[in-house]
Each structure stands twice: as structure tokens, then as C-alpha cells.
Amino acid sequence: MRQLSIQRGFTLIELIIAIAIIAILASMAIPSYTQYTTRAHYAEVVLAAQPVKIGVEQCYQIRRVLDDCDGGRYGVPANRVTVAGAVDNLSTSNGVITITPDATNGILATDTYILTPTATSPLSWSASGGAITNGYAQ
């Protein structure tokens, strides 16, 4: 009788198909990961706005108008250039907070974060700028 040989290992076509599947999965995962890490780094910029938002809200409660809620006045933190961390510039004018990030970690200086208050009680905030357009912040 003839003995059947048992095949062990992989054929070349099986290896090529496995490599192709891995390449397709990697091509989808790498852009998602890059977007995720950029958003994570941008979270520091968003957090830098929180104390200023509180200051603008206090200014509005005291004055009942947003006209003079500028950096350094009526409890609003002063405007800052070269802020520690991921923020390059932070300024407030008439309650509008504008933050320019450091151009690092995939974030560009044009990815600004602008918070605009609406004079209601309590204040409501709308966000705009390059960060919103690129999906780094909400």
C-alpha cells in the first residue's frame, strides 16, 4: 500500500494572503491611531480654557454684560503668551476665549480653539476654530 504523506506548514499562497490581510488592517488602523493621539494631545488645550471660562462666567455674573470681560479684568485670568504645556497663546476679549496651540504632536498653530459665550443665564458656550473643523475638540 501507498502511504500518504502528511503536509505540514503553509503554502506560499497562504502566507501571501495572510500578509495582505495584515497590510489591509494596518492601513485602516494607523490613520485612526494618529487621529486618536492628536485628539489626546489637544485635550490639554481644551483643559487650559476651563479656568478662563470660570473667570468669564464670574465677570458676567458681576457685570451682567460681556463687553468688559477681558483678560486680567473682573476675575478673568490675564492673557498669556507662551503658556506652559500645549498652549502657545491664550487671550480673552469681550468674553471670547481664543487659544492658539503649540505646533507639536501633529497639531498646527492654525488649529485654534475659540469659545464664544452667549449672554444667557447661565452662559452658554459655542466652540469654533480649526480644532472643531479638524475634529480635535467638540
pLDDT digits (tens, 9 = 90+) for 67-81: 888 888 888 888 888
pLDDT mean over 5-10: 72
How far is 109 from 75, CA to CA, in rounded Å? 28
How far is 121 from 124, CA to CA, in rounded Å? 8
pLDDT at 2 over 70: no
Q: Whole-model pTM?
A: 0.72
pLDDT at 24: 94
Name the band, by pLDDT with cuts 50, 70 and 90, for residue 18: very high
Please, what is the end-to-end C-alpha distance for the chain in angstroms?
74
pLDDT digits (tens, 9 = 90+) for 32-66: 888 888 888 888 888 888 888 999 998 888 888 88
User: Helix, strand, or coil here: 11?
Assistant: coil
pLDDT at 131: 83
Residues above pLDDT 70, as percent of the chain: 93
How far is 39 from 81, CA to CA, in rounded Å? 22
pLDDT at 86: 80
- 12-134 domain in CATH 3.30.450.20? no
How far is 1 from 6, CA to CA, in rounded Å? 16
How far is 78 from 134, CA to CA, in rounded Å? 28
User: Helix, strand, or coil here: 101?
Assistant: strand
**Among 124, 122, 125, which Cα is nearest to 61's?**
122
